[in-house]
Amino acid sequence: MGKGTASRVLVTGGAGYIGSHVTKLLTKKGYEVLVVDNLTGGNTLEPKYGYFERVDFGDEERMYKLFKSFQPQIVMHFAAFIVVQESVVNPLKYYYNNVANTVRLLSAMHRAGIEIFIFSSSAAVYGIPEIIPVPETAPLKPINPYGETKAMIEKVLEDLSKAGQIKYLSLRYFNVAGADPEGELGPSYNQPTHLILRALKAATFKIPYIEIYGTDYPTPDGTCIRDFIHIMDLAEAHILAMEYLLEKGESLVLNCGYGRGYSVREVIAMVKKVTGVDFEVREAKRRPGDPPMLIADPSRIKTLLNFKPKYDDLEFIIRDAYAWEKRLN
């Protein structure tokens, strides 16, 4: 196997929403994938694609042994705790899993001689950005422990890279949404907090209404604006990222979004249109720490990875998410 190719990928968190879609795509493209997950997220079933080990990725000795036996060329690290509000009330849980365990994972990789890493970072590292659309060069000013954990690992990766111990891509996801258009996979959170998922729960009568947190933001309709990226475009970005790293070996930080925002009201209107259900919407106070606008500047990923989104359409995103939501009934 020469430079520029990989045949084996180890995916942490591959039973989860994003990891499972990426694993499916990797498998379809002919990669051998080992999924490591302890099934503490919403999905308690073994993943459909890839080999599977039920392991805590922070168990350094077990991870070291898996690295030595499976011999992946690359590690994609999705596993983490992900609920912003929970990170505010229980920060240790987040620093322990997202930071301390990730350092153990990196240590196991280093000992096993594996040096290529793709990290699931987040737009949460920007906090409340001053420039919209936000470029990767914007200062990192997270406003909650979840965002802090992502920024901390980015710093660790930067230092490891400077020391010549790792080549990495940090992918800063904006709002990931939608589901596998083939209907096999989708989000499986215990208590979804994401807007589209909440709205779909209301449209399928699993919750009585949804709330809009804040209608007095400095945006055209007063509600927050977000950049939603379809899960399959994000999955494709991971393949491009991996190929780029293997070919060029240059560490990078990249925004993953479309560069277009939709307000909370626009998203709710689209969910109503797609589902045909006029569910109840209540207006509530702002939540602390919600940036009014979060839109990616995607120029870097488009230029460097030649990223060409295929599903850049809110209606399409919601249709796929709705098809999956109906399967959960």
Residue ranges binding ligand NAD (CB under 6 A): 13, 15-19, 37-43, 56-58, 78-80, 82, 97, 101, 120, 122, 173, 175-176
Supply the minimum distance, in Å, between the C-beta of residue 276 and ligand NAD.
26
DSSP H helices in 31-95: 60-70, 84-89, 91-94
Closer residue to ligand NAD (CB): 5 or 190: 190
Report yes or no: 243 and 270 within 8 Å, Cβ to Cβ: no
Supply the minimum distance, in Å, between the C-beta of residue 177 and ligand NAD.
7
Lookup result for tokens 């258009």: 181
Closer residue to ligand NAD (CB): 30 or 156: 156
Supply the minimum distance, in Å, between the C-beta of residue 247 and ligand NAD.
24
C-alpha 289/C-alpha 275 separation (Å) is 30
Closer residue to ligand NAD (CB): 175 or 251: 175
C-alpha 44/C-alpha 47 separation (Å) is 9
Closer residue to ligand NAD (CB): 61 or 216: 61
Nearest to 196 by CA among 228, 218, 224, 173: 228
Q: What are phi and psi of 156, to 5 degrees?
A: -60, -45
Closer residue to ligand NAD (CB): 119 or 217: 119
Q: Which of 31, 126, 146, 258 is catalytic?
A: 146
Supply the minimum distance, in Å, between the C-beta of residue 274 and ligand NAD.
19
The CB-nearest residue to ligand NAD is 16
DSSP string covering 17-45, please?
Answer: HHHHHHHHHHHHTT-EEEEEE-S-SS--S
First to last CA, the chain: 45
Closer residue to ligand NAD (CB): 17 or 258: 17
Is 146 among the residues known to form the active site? yes
Supply the minimum distance, in Å, between the C-beta of residue 106 and ligand NAD.
14
Supply the minimum distance, in Å, between the C-beta of residue 44 and ligand NAD.
9
DSSP string covering 92-149, please?
Answer: HHHIIIIIIHHHHHHHHHHHHT--EEEEEEEGGGGSS-SSSSBPTTS----SSHHHHH
Helices 231-248 and 17-28 cross at an angle (nearest 10°) of 60
Q: Which residues are catalytic?
A: 146
